[in-house]
């Protein structure tokens, strides 16, 4: 195990990450720990983005948990002046003849990296957990394409998906947006843009350790500045790559927390990581939404690290998937909790048993009358 030591008001706290998880983290990173991303030129960034994941049996065995019986289709999506690629993930067989929810997913990677192969595992697990279909968006990346181009790609994809929803047997009234890290930033910005421009109806937004204030002034940026999965220095580089000019930092489309109007946004599930420079971004955004009467639930598994969604078996992964399942399938926002799939199934069995017991009692009471 490796210990990370953080200092907060002179209190020393050690954070442990199991060795097998550190091994996965190092394998899926685009660049080695400590690389100065700001010194990479566009050609080097493009080459790294085109590099396939290591073809390691250990890695693929771990990442492929709960991804069987999920298929992938590729679509070309028209956006402003060009086209991008989208990948639709769906179960090989559906449990119902009805329409399924659709999740439009925006990947993380600091608006700079686009590891679609890695995110295919995550999308497949969410399809398996929720029964929804997922459209994963390969939007254009910075620094070649700066703000607002990646955001425009994401929003145009939402419009395109909403028009073709029934073609995929998805419910146009149950279209969600979801993203992690920079993708969470894009999902939040897409929701705001759709509200302000009277765009497609969004049933809900799922923000996984999102960047919501690109000024980087929160306590967690200092407390967890040098964790293994992402550092505050890296995040600063990513923000610089994405930013067109300094005033972008206070633009709500760039920093959603800076928005003066946080009302009339979709119901929101925010899943945070405890050991994360972005920890406070998620909590503060949840507070801002709640203050504006936007339905929101913030959940965080103690001991979870930034990037945990990529590692089945890591602290928070199964619970995160369970929370997304509850959210997508209509549970009241205030009742959504961190539960694994097994815990959810156990809870559902108890409810069914209680319901049958109550029905028998009602029948007996009717007979006595």
CA dist 311 and 101 (Å) reads: 25
Sign of the dihedral through C-alpha 20, 23, 27, 32: positive
**CB neighbours (10 Å) of residue 207?**
32
Is residue 91 classed as helix, strand or coil in its secondary structure? strand
The alpha carbons of the chain give a radius of gyration, in whole angstroms, of 21
Tokens of 188: 């939040």
Tell if the pTM clears 0.75, that is, is over it.
yes
- Sequence-distant (6+) residues with CB within 8 A of 42 are 143, 144
Tokens of 322: 């369970």
Q: Show pLDDT as tens, one digit a residue, over the chain (369 residues).
A: 333 333 333 233 445 677 777 788 888 888 877 788 889 999 999 999 998 888 778 888 888 888 889 999 999 999 999 999 999 999 987 656 689 999 999 999 999 999 899 999 999 999 999 999 999 999 999 999 999 999 999 999 999 999 999 899 999 999 999 999 999 999 999 999 999 999 999 999 999 999 999 999 999 999 999 888 899 999 999 999 999 999 999 999 999 999 999 999 999 999 999 999 999 999 999 999 999 999 999 999 999 999 999 998 899 999 999 999 999 999 999 999 999 878 887 887 877 777 767 766 656 655 565
Nearest C-alpha neighbor of 157 from the set 84, 242, 71: 84
């Amino acid at each position: 195990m490796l210990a990370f030591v953080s200092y907060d008001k002179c209190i020393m706290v050690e954070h442990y990450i199991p060795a097998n998880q550190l091994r996965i983290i190092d394998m899926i990173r685009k660049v080695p720990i400590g690389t100065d991303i700001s010194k990479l030129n566009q050609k080097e960034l493009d080459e790294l983005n085109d590099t396939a994941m290591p073809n390691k049996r250990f890695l693929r065995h771990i990442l492929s948990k709960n991804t069987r019986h999920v298929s992938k289709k590729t679509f070309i999506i028209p956006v402003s002046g060009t086209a991008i690629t989208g990948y639709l993930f769906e179960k090989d067989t559906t449990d119902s003849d009805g329409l399924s929810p659709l999740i439009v997913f925006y990947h993380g990677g600091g608006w700079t990296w686009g590891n679609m192969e890695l995110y295919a595992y995550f999308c497949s697990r969410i399809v398996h957990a929720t029964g929804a279909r997922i459209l994963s968006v390969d939007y254009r990346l910075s620094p070649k394409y700066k703000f607002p181009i990646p955001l425009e790609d994401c929003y145009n994809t939402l419009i395109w998906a909403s028009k073709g929803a029934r073609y995929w047997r998805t419910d146009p009234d149950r279209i969600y947006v979801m993203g992690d890290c920079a993708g969470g930033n894009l999902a939040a910005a897409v929701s705001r843009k759709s509200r302000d421009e009277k765009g497609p109806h969004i049933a809900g937004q799922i923000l996984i350790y999102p960047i919501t204030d690109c000024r980087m002034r929160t306590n967690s940026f200092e407390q967890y500045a040098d964790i293994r999965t992402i550092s505050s220095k890296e995040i600063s580089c990513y923000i610089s790559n994405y930013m067109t000019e300094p005033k972008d930092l206070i633009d709500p489309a760039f920093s959603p927390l800076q928005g003066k109007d946080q009302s009339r946004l979709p119901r929101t599930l925010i899943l945070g990581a405890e050991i994360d420079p972005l920890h406070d971004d998620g909590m503060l955004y949840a507070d801002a939404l709640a203050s504006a009467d936007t339905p929101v639930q913030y959940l965080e598994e103690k001991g979870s690290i930034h990037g945990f969604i990529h590692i089945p078996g890591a602290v928070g992964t199964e619970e995160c998937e369970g929370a997304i399942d509850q959210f997508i399938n209509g549970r009241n926002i205030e009742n959504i909790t961190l539960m694994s799939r097994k815990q959810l199934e156990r809870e559902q069995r108890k409810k069914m048993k209680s319901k049958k017991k109550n029905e028998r009692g009602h029948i007996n009471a009717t007979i006595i009358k």
